[in-house]
């Protein structure tokens, strides 16, 4: 398949591009490089430096490339910031996606894979989370992703668009060869911050809340390896052959891991101490989120190779050791 990967220079997108190549597909990357890194995409891959706010530019790319499938990873994904600047989230996560879909449909491209999130569930009534649970996001990040899911649902019957929307739990880890990994500027995610603190490259880690109703008082999350996520996207291609098909899948291991357990894993893997202190809760953080991914397992044959936090942190640690100096600078 020829696959246009929007956000292909970002964290999850770049890992997916690598997996697409390995599976014999033809990825083409579209990215504005505001958060992505050119160095995360192999030089041989065709690259369009385009902002999804620029409708004419997207149109030109779609007309020139005519891909079989579009995968869409380009979005803002920092939960804390979504609380302080929701408008930015509507521009970048909803309006930008509409531009992309509009252009796709005008050029007869009707297969779409969308990065959604477990943040669409908000604070769920039950755990683990199945796809059937009510979606009631508690931050604009989750809300904008749910808005796009709803947009896709209403477009599919009318336009023949077929799509798979993946509700990721916490994407984590790095390519096993250490070539690419997580690097956001500014960084807000737990594992890179904990590793940076251990290396003495970042300030002491703040643990956001130790009074949650969880076994050790810190939030529980479901950390899923980025290569496992990527494999699910590729496994969905056959489903997109049916015009108007709509698919939603949770992607997580089902293993709940607390913030303190992540810190312990980083200390064990690195042999270093993570300097950390307790801080107030962060707005918009649900106490616990972990997946029931039975649907992806049965319908896509998807089984995550990484089931627990330590081997995931091992890949992240390897990447942080290998990362070229200045990689995230701009």
**Would you name the residues annotated as active-site residues?**
141
By beta-carbon proximity to ligand UPG, the closer residue of 62 and 276 is 276
Give the footprint of ligand UPG on residues 232-271 (CB under 6 A).
259
By beta-carbon proximity to ligand UPG, the closer residue of 104 and 193 is 193
Question: According to the binding rule CB under 6 A, does residue 289 interact with ligand UPG?
Answer: yes
| Residue 157 C-beta: closest distance to ligand UPG, Å | 27
Are 13 and 74 in contact, with CB atoms under 8 Å apart? yes
Nearest to 314 by CA among 220, 231, 227: 227
Can you tell me the distance from the alpha carbon of 286 to that of 123, in angstroms, rounded to the nearest whole number? 6
Q: For ligand UPG, which residue has the nearest CB?
A: 219
Can you tell me the distance from the alpha carbon of 118 to that of 6, in angstroms, rounded to the nearest whole number? 20
Q: What character string, x for contact with ligand UPG (CB under 6 A) and - otherwise, covers 62-91?
A: ---------------x-x------------
Alpha helices in the chain (DSSP H): 11-22, 55-65, 79-84, 86-89, 96-106, 140-159, 190-199, 226-235, 259-270, 294-300, 309-322
Find the binder of ligand UPG among 45, 219, 265, 288 (CB under 6 A): 219
By beta-carbon proximity to ligand UPG, the closer residue of 32 and 115 is 115
First to last CA, the chain: 33
Q: What character string, x for contact with ligand UPG (CB under 6 A) and - otherwise, covers 117-136?
A: xxx-----------------
Q: How many residues does the chain have?
A: 330
| Residue 211 C-beta: closest distance to ligand UPG, Å | 12
Can you tell me the distance from the alpha carbon of 118 to that of 52, in angstroms, rounded to the nearest whole number? 24
Question: According to the binding rule CB under 6 A, does residue 161 interact with ligand UPG?
Answer: no
Are 202 and 274 in contact, with CB atoms under 8 Å apart? no
| Residue 281 C-beta: closest distance to ligand UPG, Å | 7
Give the footprint of ligand UPG on residues 175-194 (CB under 6 A).
188-190, 193
Helix axes of 226-235 and 11-22: crossing angle, nearest 10 degrees: 60
Are 289 and 221 in contact, with CB atoms under 8 Å apart? yes
Question: According to the binding rule CB under 6 A, does residue 101 interact with ligand UPG?
Answer: no
* Residues contributing to the site for ligand UPG (CB under 6 A): 77, 79, 117-119, 168, 170, 188-190, 193, 205-208, 219, 221, 259, 282, 285, 289
């Amino acid at each position: 398949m020829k696959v246009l990967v929007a956000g292909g220079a970002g964290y999850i997108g770049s890992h997916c591009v690598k997996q697409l190549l390995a599976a014999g597909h033809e990825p083409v990357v579209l990215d504005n490089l505001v958060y992505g890194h050119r160095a995360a995409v192999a030089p041989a891959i065709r690259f369009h430096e385009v902002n999804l706010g620029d409708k004419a530019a997207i149109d030109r790319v779609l007309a020139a490339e005519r891909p079989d499938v579009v995968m869409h990873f380009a979005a803002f994904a920092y939960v804390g910031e979504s609380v302080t600047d929701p408008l930015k989230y509507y521009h970048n996560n909803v309006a930008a996606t509409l531009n992309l879909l509009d252009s796709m449909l005008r050029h007869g491209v009707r297969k779409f894979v969308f990065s959604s999130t477990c943040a669409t569930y908000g604070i769920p009534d039950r755990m683990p989370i199945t796809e059937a649970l009510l979606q009631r996001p508690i931050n604009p990040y989750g809300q904008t992703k749910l808005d796009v899911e709803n947009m896709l649902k209403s477009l599919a019957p009318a336009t023949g668009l077929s799509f798979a929307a993946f509700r990721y739990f916490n994407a984590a880890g790095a390519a096993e060869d250490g070539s690419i990994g997580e690097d956001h500027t500014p960084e807000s995610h737990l594992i890179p911050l904990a590793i940076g603190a251990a290396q003495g490259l970042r300030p002491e880690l703040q643990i956001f809340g130790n009074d949650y109703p969880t076994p050790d008082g810190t939030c529980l999350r479901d950390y899923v390896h980025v290569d496992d996520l990527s494999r699910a996207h590729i496994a969905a291609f056959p489903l997109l052959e049916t015009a108007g098909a709509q698919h939603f899948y949770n992607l997580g291991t089902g293993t709940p891991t607390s913030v303190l357990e992540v810190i312990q894993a980083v200390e064990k893997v690195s042999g270093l101490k993570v300097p950390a202190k307790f801080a107030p809760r962060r707005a918009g953080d649900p106490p616990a989120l972990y997946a029931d991914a039975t649907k992806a397992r049965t319908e896509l044959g998807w089984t995550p190779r990484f089931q627990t936090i330590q081997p995931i942190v091992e890949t992240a640690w390897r990447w942080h050791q290998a990362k070229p100096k200045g990689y995230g600078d701009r």
